[in-house]
């Protein structure tokens, strides 16, 4: 099979940068030395793992992409940009029929999906690209569907901690809320407790100092009305490598779907796991 041409958008961001060495080390992928970036980025280039990437701003990308697509048939984009760019980026990908894997959270998620459903391309869109976390979510989805109101009468507390640069509430935590709702617990995403203070993360949460700049810790605590029963689910990730591995699996999955002629479809990471 020929290599899959991949464009990683969101450089010089942390998650996008984490992907680069994984792509370079994998013979199944060919990396485009350019990245879509925000309008306020001052640099014109950034270096990562010995590769110089041109940073393409929104005003320049329509003119720039035509030549890239001519030279890179079957291009797949990976989007780890910013919540404020989610919808505009999806419209751009759809306009140019570029299939994409989006791990960026935030934005108008309904409009995001709609822009793909009305297009000739496809996407894998997920708030979490870690396959093991996605598997846990699938188990919760199964419980929610088959055991409605299982935790009726229980209270729920959701705590999440991410690096201080993460602008929005955890997409994973927000996705979990609907499962707990189906299990009988009224809970609003606005009640999710966010932690972005590095000092508290290290001294109160116990997050290792070397991972303060890149982590994703989540705890869901359920208590019965009388306080005699407590259930707690925790998943803590240090670093970003687990997201890179899942993202590349999603790229391979999406490329196969495009070869099969899929159009106007939005896939999840659960689809990738079932693959």
Of these residues, 96, 131, 142, 162, which one is catalytic?
A: 162
Pseudo-torsion of CA 234, 267, 55, 97, nearest 10°?
A: -170
Bridge partners (DSSP) of residue 101 are 78, 124
Q: Is 152 a catalytic residue?
A: no
Q: Is 166 a catalytic residue?
A: yes
Bridge partners (DSSP) of residue 7 are 77
Of these residues, 166, 174, 215, 257, which one is catalytic?
A: 166
Residues 29, 19: Cα–Cα separation, whole Å: 12
Q: Which residues are catalytic?
A: 162, 166
């Amino acid at each position: 099979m020929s290599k899959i041409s991949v464009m990683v958008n969101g450089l010089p961001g942390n998650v996008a940068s984490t992907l680069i060495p994984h792509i370079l080390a994998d013979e199944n992928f060919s990396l485009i030395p350019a990245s879509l970036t925000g309008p306020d980025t001052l640099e014109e280039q950034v270096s990562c793992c010995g590769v110089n990437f041109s940073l393409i701003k929104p005003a320049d990308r329509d003119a720039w992409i035509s030549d890239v697509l001519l030279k890179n048939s079957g291009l797949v984009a990976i989007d780890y940009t910013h919540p404020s760019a989610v919808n505009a980026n999806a419209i751009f990908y759809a306009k140019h029929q570029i299939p994409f894997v989006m791990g960026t959270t935030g934005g108008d998620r309904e409009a995001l999906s709609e822009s793909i459903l009305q297009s000739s391309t496809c996407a894998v869109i997920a708030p979490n690209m870690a396959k093991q976390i996605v598997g846990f979510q699938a188990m919760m989805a199964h419980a929610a569907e088959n055991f409605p109101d299982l935790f009726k009468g229980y209270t729920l507390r959701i705590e999440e901690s991410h690096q201080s640069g993460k602008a929005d509430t955890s997409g994973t935590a927000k996705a979990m809320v609907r499962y707990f709702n189906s299990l009988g617990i009224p809970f609003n995403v606005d009640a999710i407790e966010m932690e972005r203070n590095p000092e508290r993360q290290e001294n109160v949460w116990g997050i290792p100092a070397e991972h303060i700049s890149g982590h994703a810790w989540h705890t869901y605590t359920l208590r019965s009305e009388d306080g005699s029963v407590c259930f707690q689910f925790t998943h803590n990730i240090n670093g970003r490598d687990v997201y890179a591995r899942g993202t590349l699996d999603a790229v391979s999955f999406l490329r196969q779907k495009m070869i099969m002629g899929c159009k106007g479809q939005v896939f999840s990471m659960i689809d990738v796991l079932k693959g």
